[in-house]
Protein backbone atom coordinates (compact mmCIF):
# COMPACT_ATOMS: atom_id res chain seq x y z
CA UNK A 1 0.00 0.00 0.00
CA UNK A 2 1.34 3.41 -0.92
CA UNK A 3 2.15 5.86 1.83
CA UNK A 4 0.26 9.11 2.32
CA UNK A 5 0.86 11.40 -0.62
CA UNK A 6 1.72 8.47 -2.88
CA UNK A 7 -0.26 6.75 -5.62
CA UNK A 8 0.99 3.35 -6.66
CA UNK A 9 -0.30 1.29 -9.54
CA UNK A 10 0.93 -1.51 -11.71
CA UNK A 11 -0.21 -1.68 -15.30
CA UNK A 12 -0.04 1.88 -16.53
CA UNK A 13 0.96 3.72 -19.63
CA UNK A 14 1.09 6.89 -21.65
CA UNK A 15 -1.28 8.40 -24.10
CA UNK A 16 1.80 9.76 -25.88
CA UNK A 17 4.33 7.82 -27.88
CA UNK A 18 7.20 7.71 -25.36
CA UNK A 19 9.41 9.85 -27.56
CA UNK A 20 8.92 13.26 -26.01
CA UNK A 21 5.20 13.89 -26.41
CA UNK A 22 3.38 14.37 -23.13
CA UNK A 23 -0.24 13.42 -23.67
CA UNK A 24 -2.32 16.38 -24.74
CA UNK A 25 -0.15 19.07 -23.15
CA UNK A 26 2.04 19.74 -26.16
CA UNK A 27 5.04 19.92 -23.83
CA UNK A 28 8.21 18.30 -25.16
CA UNK A 29 10.98 17.50 -22.66
CA UNK A 30 14.38 18.77 -23.72
CA UNK A 31 17.43 16.58 -24.28
CA UNK A 32 15.23 13.52 -23.92
CA UNK A 33 17.36 11.08 -25.90
CA UNK A 34 20.58 12.29 -24.26
CA UNK A 35 19.03 11.89 -20.81
CA UNK A 36 17.83 8.37 -21.54
CA UNK A 37 21.25 7.42 -22.93
CA UNK A 38 23.06 8.62 -19.79
CA UNK A 39 20.61 6.76 -17.53
CA UNK A 40 21.49 3.45 -19.30
CA UNK A 41 18.12 2.05 -18.28
CA UNK A 42 18.08 -1.68 -17.60
CA UNK A 43 14.98 -3.87 -17.60
CA UNK A 44 13.72 -4.68 -14.14
CA UNK A 45 15.49 -1.72 -12.54
CA UNK A 46 14.23 1.02 -10.25
CA UNK A 47 14.37 4.58 -11.57
CA UNK A 48 13.31 7.93 -10.12
CA UNK A 49 11.89 10.82 -12.12
CA UNK A 50 12.33 13.60 -9.56
CA UNK A 51 10.39 16.15 -11.63
CA UNK A 52 7.49 14.30 -13.20
CA UNK A 53 5.81 17.27 -14.90
CA UNK A 54 3.54 16.00 -17.67
CA UNK A 55 5.45 12.73 -17.76
CA UNK A 56 7.70 12.90 -20.83
CA UNK A 57 10.81 11.44 -19.21
CA UNK A 58 8.75 8.99 -17.15
CA UNK A 59 7.04 7.64 -20.27
CA UNK A 60 10.35 7.06 -22.00
CA UNK A 61 11.79 5.33 -18.93
CA UNK A 62 8.71 3.17 -18.34
CA UNK A 63 8.77 1.82 -21.89
CA UNK A 64 12.23 0.39 -21.20
CA UNK A 65 11.69 -1.10 -17.72
CA UNK A 66 9.46 -4.11 -18.26
CA UNK A 67 6.94 -5.56 -15.80
CA UNK A 68 9.61 -6.29 -13.17
CA UNK A 69 10.73 -2.66 -13.16
CA UNK A 70 9.68 0.15 -10.86
CA UNK A 71 9.35 3.84 -11.73
CA UNK A 72 9.06 6.31 -8.84
CA UNK A 73 8.06 9.85 -9.81
CA UNK A 74 7.93 13.02 -7.70
CA UNK A 75 6.17 16.32 -8.24
CA UNK A 76 5.02 18.96 -5.78
CA UNK A 77 2.46 20.25 -8.28
CA UNK A 78 -0.85 18.37 -7.79
CA UNK A 79 -2.02 19.39 -11.26
CA UNK A 80 1.06 17.78 -12.81
CA UNK A 81 0.47 14.60 -10.85
CA UNK A 82 -3.14 14.44 -11.99
CA UNK A 83 -2.18 14.93 -15.62
CA UNK A 84 0.62 12.37 -15.47
CA UNK A 85 -1.62 9.85 -13.72
CA UNK A 86 -4.07 10.01 -16.60
CA UNK A 87 -1.22 9.66 -19.09
CA UNK A 88 0.25 6.65 -17.31
CA UNK A 89 -2.81 4.60 -16.46
CA UNK A 90 -3.38 2.56 -19.63
CA UNK A 91 -0.58 0.43 -21.11
CA UNK A 92 0.08 0.90 -24.82
CA UNK A 93 -1.10 -2.01 -26.90
CA UNK A 94 2.40 -3.38 -27.46
CA UNK A 95 3.25 -3.28 -23.73
CA UNK A 96 0.03 -4.42 -22.06
CA UNK A 97 1.79 -7.32 -20.33
CA UNK A 98 5.13 -5.58 -19.89
CA UNK A 99 4.42 -2.33 -18.04
CA UNK A 100 6.34 -1.52 -14.83
CA UNK A 101 5.02 -0.74 -11.38
CA UNK A 102 4.69 3.02 -11.01
CA UNK A 103 4.58 5.08 -7.81
CA UNK A 104 3.60 8.76 -7.91
CA UNK A 105 4.58 10.89 -4.92
CA UNK A 106 3.15 14.34 -4.21
CA UNK A 107 6.27 15.90 -2.71
CA UNK A 108 9.37 17.87 -3.60
CA UNK A 109 12.40 15.91 -4.76
CA UNK A 110 14.10 17.39 -1.69
CA UNK A 111 12.31 14.59 0.20
CA UNK A 112 13.64 11.76 -1.95
CA UNK A 113 15.82 10.32 0.83
CA UNK A 114 12.80 10.21 3.16
CA UNK A 115 10.53 8.60 0.57
CA UNK A 116 12.77 6.08 -1.19
CA UNK A 117 14.82 3.25 0.33
CA UNK A 118 18.50 4.08 0.47
CA UNK A 119 20.68 2.29 -2.05
CA UNK A 120 17.66 1.03 -4.01
CA UNK A 121 17.62 3.08 -7.24
CA UNK A 122 19.47 2.45 -10.49
CA UNK A 123 19.00 5.98 -11.76
CA UNK A 124 17.54 9.40 -11.00
CA UNK A 125 16.65 12.19 -13.41
CA UNK A 126 15.62 15.75 -12.58
CA UNK A 127 14.47 18.32 -15.16
CA UNK A 128 14.65 21.47 -13.05
CA UNK A 129 12.65 24.68 -13.09
CA UNK A 130 9.21 25.49 -14.36
CA UNK A 131 7.33 23.49 -16.98
CA UNK A 132 5.70 24.92 -20.08
CA UNK A 133 2.30 23.69 -18.91
CA UNK A 134 2.67 25.71 -15.69
CA UNK A 135 3.59 28.80 -17.70
CA UNK A 136 0.67 28.24 -20.04
CA UNK A 137 -1.90 28.24 -17.22
CA UNK A 138 -2.54 31.92 -16.47
CA UNK A 139 -4.38 30.94 -13.30
CA UNK A 140 -1.14 29.74 -11.73
CA UNK A 141 0.42 33.20 -11.96
CA UNK A 142 3.80 32.18 -13.38
CA UNK A 143 3.70 34.17 -16.61
CA UNK A 144 4.05 37.91 -17.10
CA UNK A 145 2.45 37.58 -20.54
CA UNK A 146 -1.05 36.85 -19.26
CA UNK A 147 -3.40 38.28 -16.66
CA UNK A 148 -3.30 36.07 -13.58
CA UNK A 149 -3.17 36.04 -9.79
CA UNK A 150 0.08 36.66 -7.92
CA UNK A 151 0.49 33.03 -6.93
CA UNK A 152 3.48 31.18 -8.50
CA UNK A 153 3.22 28.24 -6.07
CA UNK A 154 4.17 24.90 -7.60
CA UNK A 155 2.62 23.20 -4.56
CA UNK A 156 -0.72 24.88 -3.93
CA UNK A 157 -0.59 23.64 -0.32
CA UNK A 158 2.31 25.99 0.40
CA UNK A 159 1.65 29.07 2.51
CA UNK A 160 4.03 31.51 0.79
CA UNK A 161 2.76 33.00 -2.46
CA UNK A 162 3.99 35.67 -4.84
CA UNK A 163 1.39 38.06 -3.42
CA UNK A 164 3.04 37.91 -0.01
CA UNK A 165 6.43 38.66 -1.55
CA UNK A 166 5.26 41.44 -3.84
CA UNK A 167 2.86 43.20 -1.49
CA UNK A 168 4.18 42.55 2.00
CA UNK A 169 7.95 42.07 1.94
CA UNK A 170 10.19 44.93 3.07
CA UNK A 171 11.73 46.85 0.17
CA UNK A 172 15.32 45.94 1.08
CA UNK A 173 14.46 42.24 1.40
CA UNK A 174 12.55 42.30 -1.89
CA UNK A 175 15.55 43.89 -3.61
CA UNK A 176 17.77 41.14 -2.18
CA UNK A 177 15.42 38.43 -3.51
CA UNK A 178 15.36 39.96 -6.99
CA UNK A 179 19.14 40.31 -7.03
CA UNK A 180 20.00 36.90 -5.54
CA UNK A 181 17.50 34.72 -7.38
CA UNK A 182 17.10 36.74 -10.57
CA UNK A 183 20.65 38.06 -10.92
CA UNK A 184 18.93 41.33 -11.79
CA UNK A 185 21.38 44.25 -11.48
CA UNK A 186 18.52 46.77 -11.28
CA UNK A 187 16.97 45.06 -8.27
CA UNK A 188 16.86 48.07 -5.95
CA UNK A 189 15.18 50.26 -8.57
CA UNK A 190 12.63 47.53 -9.29
CA UNK A 191 11.91 46.85 -5.61
CA UNK A 192 11.39 50.57 -4.98
CA UNK A 193 8.91 50.77 -7.87
CA UNK A 194 7.01 47.70 -6.65
CA UNK A 195 6.66 49.06 -3.12
CA UNK A 196 5.45 52.43 -4.42
CA UNK A 197 2.85 50.74 -6.66
CA UNK A 198 1.32 48.57 -3.92
CA UNK A 199 -1.14 47.01 -3.82
CA UNK A 200 -0.26 45.02 -6.95
CA UNK A 201 -3.05 42.56 -7.74
CA UNK A 202 -2.07 40.66 -10.88
CA UNK A 203 0.83 39.37 -12.94
CA UNK A 204 0.11 41.89 -15.70
CA UNK A 205 0.17 44.74 -13.22
CA UNK A 206 3.49 43.52 -11.76
CA UNK A 207 5.01 43.17 -15.23
CA UNK A 208 3.93 46.71 -16.10
CA UNK A 209 5.47 48.13 -12.92
CA UNK A 210 8.76 46.31 -13.49
CA UNK A 211 8.90 47.25 -17.17
CA UNK A 212 8.30 50.91 -16.42
CA UNK A 213 11.05 51.01 -13.78
CA UNK A 214 13.61 48.97 -15.73
CA UNK A 215 12.88 48.96 -19.47
CA UNK A 216 14.55 46.57 -21.87
CA UNK A 217 18.15 47.48 -22.61
CA UNK A 218 19.07 47.95 -26.27
CA UNK A 219 21.18 44.79 -26.42
CA UNK A 220 18.76 42.74 -24.37
CA UNK A 221 16.55 39.93 -25.67
CA UNK A 222 14.70 39.30 -22.41
CA UNK A 223 11.45 40.94 -21.45
CA UNK A 224 12.29 43.40 -18.65
CA UNK A 225 10.14 41.44 -16.15
CA UNK A 226 11.72 38.05 -16.87
CA UNK A 227 14.37 38.06 -14.16
CA UNK A 228 12.08 39.54 -11.51
CA UNK A 229 9.44 36.89 -12.15
CA UNK A 230 12.15 34.19 -12.08
CA UNK A 231 13.44 35.49 -8.75
CA UNK A 232 10.05 35.60 -7.07
CA UNK A 233 9.15 32.12 -8.36
CA UNK A 234 12.41 30.58 -7.15
CA UNK A 235 12.02 32.22 -3.73
CA UNK A 236 8.37 31.21 -3.33
CA UNK A 237 9.11 27.57 -4.18
CA UNK A 238 12.46 27.18 -2.36
CA UNK A 239 13.81 25.86 -5.66
CA UNK A 240 17.53 26.23 -5.01
CA UNK A 241 17.26 24.84 -1.48
CA UNK A 242 15.48 21.81 -2.92
CA UNK A 243 18.23 21.25 -5.50
CA UNK A 244 20.87 21.39 -2.76
CA UNK A 245 18.91 18.94 -0.62
CA UNK A 246 18.81 16.51 -3.53
CA UNK A 247 22.42 16.66 -4.69
CA UNK A 248 24.83 18.67 -2.51
CA UNK A 249 26.96 16.49 -0.23
CA UNK A 250 27.11 12.80 0.69
CA UNK A 251 24.00 13.08 2.86
CA UNK A 252 21.88 14.60 0.07
CA UNK A 253 19.02 12.62 -1.41
CA UNK A 254 20.50 11.43 -4.70
CA UNK A 255 23.71 9.85 -3.36
CA UNK A 256 21.72 8.17 -0.57
CA UNK A 257 19.03 6.54 -2.72
CA UNK A 258 21.22 5.48 -5.66
CA UNK A 259 22.99 2.14 -5.77
CA UNK A 260 26.68 1.93 -6.54
CA UNK A 261 26.81 2.38 -10.30
CA UNK A 262 23.49 4.24 -10.30
CA UNK A 263 23.22 7.16 -12.72
CA UNK A 264 22.28 10.77 -11.93
CA UNK A 265 21.09 13.08 -14.73
CA UNK A 266 20.23 16.73 -14.06
CA UNK A 267 18.89 19.21 -16.63
CA UNK A 268 18.98 22.87 -15.61
CA UNK A 269 17.84 26.04 -17.34
CA UNK A 270 19.62 28.92 -15.66
CA UNK A 271 23.01 29.62 -14.13
CA UNK A 272 21.90 29.45 -10.49
CA UNK A 273 20.71 25.86 -10.83
CA UNK A 274 23.57 24.80 -13.04
CA UNK A 275 26.16 26.23 -10.65
CA UNK A 276 24.77 24.16 -7.76
CA UNK A 277 24.74 20.99 -9.89
CA UNK A 278 28.22 21.58 -11.31
CA UNK A 279 29.75 22.29 -7.89
CA UNK A 280 28.02 19.35 -6.21
CA UNK A 281 29.14 16.89 -8.88
CA UNK A 282 32.69 18.29 -8.87
CA UNK A 283 32.92 18.12 -5.08
CA UNK A 284 31.43 14.63 -5.14
CA UNK A 285 34.02 13.51 -7.68
CA UNK A 286 36.75 14.76 -5.36
CA UNK A 287 35.42 12.98 -2.27
CA UNK A 288 34.69 9.71 -4.06
CA UNK A 289 30.89 9.99 -4.27
CA UNK A 290 30.56 10.47 -8.05
CA UNK A 291 32.32 9.56 -11.26
CA UNK A 292 31.65 12.38 -13.68
CA UNK A 293 30.13 11.40 -17.02
CA UNK A 294 30.05 14.94 -18.45
CA UNK A 295 33.14 17.15 -18.17
CA UNK A 296 31.16 19.94 -19.81
CA UNK A 297 27.38 20.25 -19.91
CA UNK A 298 25.53 18.65 -22.80
CA UNK A 299 23.42 21.15 -24.73
CA UNK A 300 20.73 20.86 -27.37
CA UNK A 301 21.45 20.58 -31.05
CA UNK A 302 20.38 23.34 -33.41
CA UNK A 303 17.77 20.95 -34.78
CA UNK A 304 16.23 20.43 -31.34
CA UNK A 305 16.31 24.17 -30.58
CA UNK A 306 14.48 24.84 -33.84
CA UNK A 307 11.79 22.32 -32.86
CA UNK A 308 11.68 23.39 -29.22
CA UNK A 309 13.07 26.88 -28.41
CA UNK A 310 12.94 26.09 -24.66
CA UNK A 311 15.92 23.78 -25.24
CA UNK A 312 18.22 26.72 -26.01
CA UNK A 313 19.15 27.33 -22.36
CA UNK A 314 19.15 23.70 -21.20
CA UNK A 315 22.31 22.13 -19.75
CA UNK A 316 22.57 18.45 -18.91
CA UNK A 317 25.11 17.07 -16.44
CA UNK A 318 25.47 13.42 -15.49
CA UNK A 319 27.39 11.37 -12.95
CA UNK A 320 27.63 7.79 -11.72
CA UNK A 321 27.49 6.81 -8.04
CA UNK A 322 30.81 5.23 -7.03
**What is the model's pLDDT at position 7?**
55
CA–CA gap between residue 101 and residue 69 (Å, rounded)? 6
Which pLDDT score, from 0 to 100, does residue 1 have? Answer: 36
Q: Look at residues 212, 238, 264 and tell me which one is the last residue of a structural domain.
A: 238
The rounded distance, in Å, linking the Cα atoms of 213 and 190 is 6
Q: What is the mean pLDDT of residues 68-75?
A: 96
Residues 307, 252, single domain; the answer is yes
**Who wins on pLDDT, 274 or 83?**
274
Residues 129 and 254 in one domain: yes
Do 250 and 169 share a structural domain? Answer: no
Same domain, yes or no: 252 and 205: no
Q: How many whole angstroms separate alpha carbon 133 and alpha carbon 302?
A: 23
Summarize pLDDT for 285-315 with one digit per residue, the tens: 999 999 999 999 999 999 999 999 889 999 9
Question: Is residue 22 assigned to a domain?
Answer: yes
Cα distances (angstroms) measured from residue 37 to each of 14, 57, 76, 123, 255: 20, 12, 26, 11, 20
Residue 203 within any structural domain of the chain: yes
Is 251 in the same domain as 129? yes
Whole-number Å distance between alpha carbons of 194 and 320: 45
Q: How many domains does the chain have?
A: 2
Residue 152 backbone zone (phi > 0: left; psi -120 to 50: alpha; other: beta):
left
Domain that holds residue 180: 138-238
Whether the pLDDT of residue 19 is over 90: the answer is: no
Contacts of residues 160-165 at CB distance under 8 Å and 24 or more positions apart, as own/partner, are 160/236, 161/236, 162/232, 162/233, 162/236, 165/232, 165/235, 165/236
- Do 91 and 207 sit in the same domain of this protein? no
Does 252 fall in a domain? Answer: yes
> In the chain, pLDDT over 70 holds for what percent of residues?
90
With a cut of 90, say whether residue 233 has pLDDT above it: yes
Query: 83-121: per-residue pLDDT in tens?
Result: 888 878 778 888 989 999 999 999 999 999 999 999 999
Q: Are residues 79 and 13 in the same domain?
A: yes
Amino acid sequence: MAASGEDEFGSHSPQGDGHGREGSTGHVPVLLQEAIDFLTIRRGGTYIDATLGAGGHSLAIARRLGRQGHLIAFDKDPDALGLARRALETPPADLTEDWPRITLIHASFAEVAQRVAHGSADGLIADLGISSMQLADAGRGFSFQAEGPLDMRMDTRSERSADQVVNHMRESDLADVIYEFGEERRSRRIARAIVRARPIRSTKHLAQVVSASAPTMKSGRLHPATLTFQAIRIFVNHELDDVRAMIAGKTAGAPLVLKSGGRLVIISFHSLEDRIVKDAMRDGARDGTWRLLTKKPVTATEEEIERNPRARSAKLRAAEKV
